[in-house]
C-alpha cells in the first residue's frame, strides 16, 4: 500500500473530517501504522509514549487483568473507532491492554502530544473529541449500573442486543452476527465466569431465542426487539 493512502485513513472518522490535509499530516500516522492478527496485544497503557489508536479494520477488546489473573473486558472496539489514552491522562496507571479478536486488524495511531497540539489550534476538533470521550464515559456508567442492578442473564441479553445493533446483519426474521467471540470472551464482557456464560447461552438457545456456534450467532428478531 502506498504510504500516501495511509495518511487519509483517519478521514474515516468524523472527528478528523474538519482537518486540512496538512493538519492531518501533523499527526504523522505513518510511523504508527500497523497490522495485527488474532490474539496480538496492541498496547499496554503504561507505555512511555502515550498514543491514540484508530482501528481501520477488524475488532479488538480492551481488557484488564488483576493480580489473580482474572480478566474483564471493558469495551469492544469496532472498525472506525478510537482507543488508547483517550482520557488524555497519563498520571494514573491502569492495567489495560488491547487484544485482537478478529483474524486480522489494521491500525494507525498518533502521539497524544501531537493530537493535543492540533486541538489547541482547532476548537471544533477539541469539542467533538470532548463529546466522544463524554459518550464513552456515559456508556461505562451504564455498564456499571447494569453490573449492580441486573443479574448475569440480563447482562448477557443486553450485551447480545448491543452486539446485534453494532455488528448484526438483518435477515427476514433474524439477525446474523459473524462470531469472533468465544464464550470465554463473552463471559469477560458481562463480568461472569465461562461456565455461567455457557449455561446461559444454552438456556437462551433452548428457549429458541438464538443459535450460537463458533462461526456465527443468529438472534431471533423478536427477541432482540423485545426485552
Partner DNA sequence: CTTATAATGTCGGGTAAATGACAAAACCGC
Partner DNA sequence: GCGGTTTTGTCATTTACCCGACATTATAAG
Q: Which is closer to DNA, CB of 13 or CB of 194?
A: 194
Residue 82 C-alpha cell reads as 478510537
Beta bridge partners of 217: 177, 212
Is 20 a binder of a second copy (CB under 8 A)? no
Q: Which of 35, 46, 120, 151 binds a second copy (CB under 8 A)?
A: 120
Q: Which does 106 bind (CB under 5 to 8 A by kind): a second copy, DNA, none?
A: none
Q: Which is closer to a second copy, CB of 183 or CB of 192?
A: 192
Return the percent helix, strand and coil in the chain, to nearest 5.
Answer: 45, 25, 30
Q: Which does 208 bind (CB under 5 to 8 A by kind): DNA, a second copy, none?
A: none
User: Which stretch, 6-14, 130-138, 202-210, 218-226, contacts a second copy (CB under 8 A)?
Assistant: 130-138
Is 191 a binder of a second copy (CB under 8 A)? yes
Is 72 a binder of DNA (CB under 7 A)? no
- Which own/partner contact pairs does 191-197 have at CB distance under 8 Å and 24+ positions apart? 191/72, 191/147, 191/155, 192/152, 192/155, 192/156, 196/152, 197/152, 197/156
**Within its chain, how far is the Cα of 181 from the centroid?**
13
- Least Cα distance to 90 among 66, 115, 69 occurs for 115
| Separation of alpha carbons 227 and 218, rounded Å | 17
Is 152 a binder of DNA (CB under 7 A)? yes
| Separation of alpha carbons 222 and 96, rounded Å | 36
Number of CB atoms found within 10 A of residue 30's CB: 13
User: Which stretch, 1-9, 22-30, 146-154, 166-174, contacts a second copy (CB under 8 A)?
Assistant: 146-154
User: Which stretch, 6-14, 138-146, 171-179, 217-225, contacts a second copy (CB under 8 A)?
Assistant: 138-146
Is 102 a binder of DNA (CB under 7 A)? no
| Separation of alpha carbons 27 and 12, rounded Å | 15
Is 152 a binder of a second copy (CB under 8 A)? no
Enumerate binding residues for a second copy (CB under 8 A): 64, 66, 68, 70, 72, 74, 86-89, 92, 94, 96, 116, 119-124, 126-127, 129-131, 133-145, 147-149, 191
Q: Which residues bind DNA (CB under 7 A)?
A: 70, 151-153, 182-184, 191-196, 198-199, 201-202, 212-215
Amino acid at each position: 500500500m502506498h504510504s500516501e493512502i495511509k495518511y487519509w485513513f483517519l478521514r474515516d472518522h468524523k472527528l478528523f473530517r474538519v482537518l486540512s490535509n496538512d493538519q492531518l499530516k501533523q499527526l504523522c500516522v505513518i510511523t504508527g501504522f500497523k497490522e495485527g492478527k488474532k490474539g496480538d496485544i496492541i498496547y499496554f497503557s503504561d507505555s512511555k509514549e502515550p498514543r491514540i489508536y484508530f482501528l481501520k479494520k477488524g475488532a479488538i477488546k480492551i481488557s484488564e487483568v488483576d493480580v489473580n489473573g482474572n480478566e474483564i473486558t471493558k469495551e469492544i472496539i469496532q472498525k472506525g473507532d478510537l482507543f488508547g489514552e483517550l482520557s488524555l491522562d497519563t498520571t494514573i496507571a491502569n492495567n489495560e491492554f488491547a487484544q485482537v479478536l478478529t483474524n486480522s486488524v489494521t491500525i494507525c495511531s498518533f502521539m497524544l502530544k501531537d493530537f493535543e497540539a492540533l486541538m489547541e489550534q482547532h476548537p471544533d476538533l477539541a469539542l467533538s473529541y470532548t463529546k466522544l470521550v463524554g459518550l464513552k464515559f456515559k456508556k461505562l456508567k451504564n455498564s456499571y449500573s447494569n453490573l449492580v442492578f441486573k443479574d448475569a442473564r440480563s447482562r448477557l441479553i443486553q450485551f447480545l442486543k448491543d452486539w446485534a445493533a453494532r455488528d448484526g446483519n438483518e435477515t427476514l426474521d433474524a439477525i446474523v452476527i459473524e462470531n469472533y467471540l468465544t464464550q470465554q470472551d463473552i463471559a469477560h464482557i458481562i463480568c461472569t465466569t465461562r461456565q455461567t456464560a455457557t449455561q446461559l447461552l444454552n438456556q437462551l438457545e433452548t428457549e429458541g431465542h438464538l443459535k450460537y456456534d463458533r462461526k456465527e450467532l443468529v438472534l431471533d428478531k423478536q427477541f432482540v426487539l423485545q426485552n
